[in-house]
């Protein structure tokens, strides 16, 4: 398989349509300014990383973008539509999916059912279809089982799909969570520390997977602490510190940005 | 997509489609000992046993306690949708039974409806009651819901005590049995020389509705789109929002469906008792139904049936202990919760003698079907290694010997 090196060489950023634009986003919790003036754009098929020291406000920003928090100021535009005060489920239905920092799979459901939940809004079944097991019910269940299996294979899930998610090793649970997010057929995928707790090989697999998702034309926003992964995979990096955006640029620019080195990397060196 | 919640300008965004599965799945378990098949066969056998029972003993006592036990099963099935599937703690569930019982009682005794004709009104009244109480409260997190439902249960009972329409404290008397287009259960029926009395016919009717329709119906709802939404909300409400499930709608639908189950069971109860009064709907009964669900196993169909049968039949066997029986119930509940915290028959429980799925995990060294191929991973690993020294991040902690071994093994293969 030489594909990889090919993509590496021809990996000129092909910017598609503008998907997400965050403008002057701010969230305060009491006196704490968790996010304080964050702005960035994400295009179709683009990978943007959001990095910063612990407590910099990365996850708070994610929660604002996906509708879980209401920002105190600023706007979130998704495909040109203001989604600042839209319900999270509506945002997901409209093509933005996310994963969580701490795995949040549905623990009392099988792997397959976990993935199927993400297809909720597209499944056409009413109460009577479900009570009577009509043809429409059977057809739609068959369809979504196939789709769920397709996504599980896509992320490289190797286990038994009928197991409960709690019976899976950690790395496999991470895969299931990404498959679940993909099953909502997003245009934009927000990954909150997908590499946390993964070993070296699993991280490499994750990196390939992220690129494969990108090849589908999905825009990706990534929060990640593993600098190797971030520098390799992202086209642009946004750096946060104490809620403030201190840099936005290509990996090379970020590596050499004095503000970043001082605020983010300098803190690491003192440890 | 035709969803009305779709934002207009996003409509044009094309969506990615699911890839086709890239590997064969092991075939589903077959034969009589496949868990799914076995459980539905077991259900069918028990259903037939219930049908045959009047041929063994048709004593009015046995028929009567079994009729009420099966009505209890239906009530517990309704509560199971609310508590077991959707995870909403409802402490006033008996209120919906009261709404159903009073609606059919009032319509049949005062307005001359037959019981069959009251059914649509019972369902309507329960949907309304479910929306009125669930509408505002389901936006709250579950602790508040428990308190509000507790209050709702009491409000319904006290309202029934004080209204003239509901017969005040003495309630409603002379609720008729079911009648179908001029033919009533009270007429009895003679088949092959055996006479089926009104009580036995009503028993059959309850078996059919409560065990056949309500139990199978609730279990089927749990398996489809709605059931997945309910369970996901129960397991993690935020994550289910992130999956595009409107948690409020999902909870409201569970609440309303639970209300309908309870209401129809209440209408059966009204016929069975032929007289209903407010003390039949005290908080104690809400607690007992909840106990049936928790004792049996939340979200588990066989568990809830066992729990409901136990809670409704045990008082008959514990008659000698009179008021002590609730103490015995309490002690038993504590014991069960210590030794089987998920209930007598937990939702995920599979009988030990049934076939188990044996699925070989796919080898990690060769995954041609996955989007992530081995060669790419090796390349990516090299990239990560190259990036790591230059990056100021802390050294990777997770570089396990297994991964290294994998990499070398893979290298030697090529």
Q: Range with the lowest mean pLDDT among A167-171, A218-222, B375-379, B384-388? A: B384-388
B223 interfacial to chain A (CB closer than 8 Å): yes
Q: Could you say which of A118, A131, A199 has the minimum Cβ distance to residue B221? A: A131
The reported pLDDT for the residue numbered B106 is: 93
Per-residue 3-state assignment (H helix, E strand, C coil) for A238-268 = EEEECCEEEEEECHHHHHCCHHHHHHHHHHH
**What is the chain B residue with the closest CA to A227?**
B393
Average pLDDT over residues B268-290: 91
User: What's the pLDDT tens digit per position in B169-199?
Assistant: 888 988 888 888 878 887 777 777 778 888 8
- Is the model's pLDDT at B377 over the cut of 90? no
Cα B178–chain centre separation: 27
Task: List A residues 141-180 in contact with B (Cβ-Cβ < 8 A).
Answer: 141, 146-156, 158-162, 164, 180
ipTM for this prediction: 0.87
Instruction: Please state, rounded to an integer, the average pLDDT across all residues of chain B.
Output: 82
H or E element in which residue B269 lies: helix B247-273
Q: Do B229 and A186 touch (CB under 8 A)?
A: no
> B179-180 and A244-249: which strand pairing?
unpaired
- Half-sphere exposure (CA, 13 Å, Cβ side) for B257? 31
Task: List B residues 306-365 in contact with A (Cβ-Cβ < 8 A).
Answer: 347-348, 357, 359, 361-362, 364
- Is the model's pLDDT at B413 over the cut of 50? no
How many residue contacts between A and B have a Cβ separation below 8 Å? 283
> A96-98 and A188-192: which strand pairing?
parallel
**What is the chain B residue with the closest CA to A190?**
B242
Provide, as residue numbers in chain A, all residues whose Cβ is less than 8 Å from the Cβ of B379: 4-5
The reported pLDDT for the residue numbered B364 is: 52
User: What's the pLDDT tens digit per position in B333-356?
Assistant: 899 889 988 888 988 888 888 877
The model's confidence at residue B384, banded by pLDDT at 50, 70 and 90, is confident
Q: Do B226 and A207 touch (CB under 8 A)?
A: no
**What is the chain A residue with the closest CA to B85?**
A108
Residue A205's nearest CA partner among A269, A158, A156 is A156
Provide, as residue numbers in chain B, all residues whose Cβ is less than 8 Å from the Cβ of A93: 1, 3, 5-6, 244
Cα B357–chain centre separation: 25
Q: Are A198 and A167 in contact (CB under 8 A)?
A: no
The reported pLDDT for the residue numbered B5 is: 57
Q: Do A154 and B370 touch (CB under 8 A)?
A: yes
Looking at the complex, report in whole angstroms how far the Cα of residue B64 sits from the nearest Cα belonging to chain A: 29
Residue B200 CA to residue B316 CA, distance in Å, equals 20
User: What's the pLDDT tens digit per position in B111-133?
Assistant: 888 888 899 999 999 999 999 98
Residue B319 CA to residue A48 CA, distance in Å, equals 71
Q: How wide is the angle at C-alpha B260 spanned by C-alphas B256 and B264, nearest 5°?
A: 170
Residue B38, SS3? helix
The reported pLDDT for the residue numbered A180 is: 93
Q: Do A89 and B383 touch (CB under 8 A)?
A: no
B238 interfacial to chain A (CB closer than 8 Å): yes
Q: Range with the lowest mean pLDDT among B92-106, B218-232, B308-322, B353-367? A: B353-367
Q: Do B243 and A180 touch (CB under 8 A)?
A: yes
The reported pLDDT for the residue numbered A178 is: 93
What are the residues facing B221 on neighbouring strands?
Answer: none
The reported pLDDT for the residue numbered A55 is: 81
Looking at the complex, report in whole angstroms how far the Cα of residue B331 sits from the nearest Cα belonging to chain A: 28
Task: List B residues 372-401 in contact with A (Cβ-Cβ < 8 A).
Answer: 372-373, 375-381, 383-385, 387-388, 390-394, 396, 398-400
Q: Do A232 and B242 touch (CB under 8 A)?
A: no
Q: What are the tokens at A200?
A: 């070296």
Average pLDDT over residues B134-163: 88
The reported pLDDT for the residue numbered B370 is: 53
Map tokens 């407010």 to a residue: B278
Residue B85 CA to residue B324 CA, distance in Å, equals 32
Strand locations in chain A, DSSP E?
18-29, 32-43, 47-51, 73-78, 81-82, 96-98, 188-192, 219-223, 236-241, 244-249
A205 interfacial to chain B (CB closer than 8 Å): yes
* Count of Cβ atoms closer than 10 Å to residue B116 Cβ: 14
A216 interfacial to chain B (CB closer than 8 Å): yes
Q: Do B396 and A228 touch (CB under 8 A)?
A: yes
Q: What are the tokens at A260?
A: 């970043």
Task: Quote helix, strand, coil % in chain A, to nearest 5.
Answer: 40, 25, 35
* Count of Cβ atoms closer than 10 Å to residue A82 Cβ: 13
Residue A20, SS3? strand
- Is the model's pLDDT at B94 over the cut of 90? yes
Residue B92's nearest CA partner among B291, B309, B285 is B285
The reported pLDDT for the residue numbered B315 is: 83
Q: How wide is the angle at C-alpha B297 spanned by C-alphas A109 and B85, nearest 5°?
A: 45
Q: Could you say which of A3, A5, A268 has the minimum Cβ distance to residue B392? A: A268
What are the residues facing A195 on neighbouring strands?
Answer: none
Listed as ranges, residues in chain A with pLDDT below 50 are: 1-13, 268-271
A249 interfacial to chain B (CB closer than 8 Å): no
Task: List B residues 63-122 in contact with A (Cβ-Cβ < 8 A).
Answer: none
User: What's the pLDDT tens digit per position in B226-263?
Assistant: 999 999 999 999 999 999 999 999 999 999 999 999 99
| Main-chain phi, psi angles of B171, to 5 degrees | 80, -155
Instruction: Tell me the Cα Rg of chain B.
Output: 28
The reported pLDDT for the residue numbered A7 is: 38
B409 interfacial to chain A (CB closer than 8 Å): no
What are the residues facing A188 on neighbouring strands?
Answer: A96, A219
């Amino acid at each position: 398989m030489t594909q990889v090196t090919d993509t590496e060489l021809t990996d000129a950023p092909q910017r598609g349509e503008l998907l997400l634009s965050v403008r002057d986003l701010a969230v305060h919790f009491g006196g704490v300014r968790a996010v304080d003036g964050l702005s960035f754009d994400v295009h179709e098929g683009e990978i943007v990383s959001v990095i910063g020291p612990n407590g910099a406000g990365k996850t708070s920003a994610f929660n604002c973008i996906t509708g879980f928090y209401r920002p105190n100021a600023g706007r979130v535009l998704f495909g040109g539509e203001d989604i600042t005060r839209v319900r999270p489920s509506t945002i997901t239905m409209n093509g933005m999916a996310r994963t969580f920092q701490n795995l949040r799979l549905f623990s009392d459901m099988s792997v397959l059912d976990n993935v199927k939940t993400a297809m909720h809004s597209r499944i056409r079944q009413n109460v009577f279809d479900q009570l009577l097991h009509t043809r429409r019910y059977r057809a739609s269940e068959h369809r979504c089982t196939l789709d769920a299996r397709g996504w599980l294979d896509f992320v490289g899930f190797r286990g038994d799909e009928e197991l409960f998610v709690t019976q899976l090793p950690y790395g496999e649970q991470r895969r299931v969570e990404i498959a679940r997010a993909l099953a909502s057929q997003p245009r934009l995928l927000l990954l909150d520390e997908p590499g946390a707790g993964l070993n070296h090989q699993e991280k490499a697999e994750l990196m390939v997977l992220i690129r494969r998702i990108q090849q589908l034309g999905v825009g990706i926003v990534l929060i990640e602490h593993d600098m190797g992964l971030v520098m390799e995979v992202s086209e642009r990096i946004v750096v946060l510190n104490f809620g403030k955006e201190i840099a936005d640029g290509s990996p090379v620019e970020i590596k050499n940005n004095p503000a970043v080195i001082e605020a983010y990397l300098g803190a690491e060196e003192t440890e | 997509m035709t969803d009305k919640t779709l934002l207009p300008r996003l409509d044009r965004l094309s969506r990615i489609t699911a890839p086709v599965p890239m590997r064969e799945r092991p075939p589903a378990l077959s034969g009589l000992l496949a868990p799914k098949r076995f459980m539905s066969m077991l259900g069918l056998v028990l259903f037939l046993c219930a049908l045959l029972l009047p041929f063994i003993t048709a004593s009015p006592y046995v028929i009567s306690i079994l009729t009420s036990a099966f009505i209890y099963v239906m009530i517990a099935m309704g509560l199971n949708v609310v508590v077991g599937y959707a995870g909403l703690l409802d402490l006033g569930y008996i209120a919906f039974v009261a709404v159903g019982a009073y609606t059919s009682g009032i319509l049949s005794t005062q307005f001359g409806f037959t019981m069959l004709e009251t059914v649509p009104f019972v369902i309507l009244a329960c949907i309304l009651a479910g929306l009125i109480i669930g509408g505002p409260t389901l936006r709250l997190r579950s602790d508040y819901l428990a308190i509000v439902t507790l209050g709702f249960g009491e409000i319904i009972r006290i309202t029934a005590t004080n209204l003239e329409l509901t017969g005040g404290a003495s309630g409603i008397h002379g609720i008729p049995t079911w009648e179908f287009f001029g033919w009533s259960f009270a007429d009895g029926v003679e088949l092959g020389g055996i006479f089926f009395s009104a009580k036995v016919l009503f028993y059959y009717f309850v078996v059919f509705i409560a065990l056949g329709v309500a139990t199978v119906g609730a279990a089927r709802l749990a398996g489809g789109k709605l059931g997945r939404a309910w369970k996901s909300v129960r397991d993690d409400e935020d994550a289910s929002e992130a999956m595009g499930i409107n948690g409020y709608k999902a909870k409201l639908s569970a609440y309303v469906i639970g209300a309908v189950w309870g209401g129809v069971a209440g209408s059966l109860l009204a016929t069975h008792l032929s007289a209903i009064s407010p003390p039949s709907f005290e908080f104690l009964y809400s607690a007992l139904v909840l106990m049936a669900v928790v004792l049996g196993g939340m979200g588990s169909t066989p568990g809830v049936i066992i729990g409901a049968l136990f809670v409704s039949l045990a008082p008959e066997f514990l008659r000698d202990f009179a008021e002590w029986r609730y103490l015995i119930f309490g002690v038993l509940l504590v014991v069960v919760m210590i030794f089987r915290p998920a209930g007598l028959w937990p939702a995920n429980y599979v009988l030990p003698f049934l076939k188990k799925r044996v699925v070989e995990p796919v080898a990690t060294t060769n995954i041609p079907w996955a989007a992530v191929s081995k060669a790419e991973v090796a390349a990516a690993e090299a990239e990560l290694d190259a990036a790591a020294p230059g990056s100021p991040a802390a050294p990777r902690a997770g570089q396990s010997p297994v991964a290294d071994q994998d990499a070398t093994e893979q290298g030697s293969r090529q």
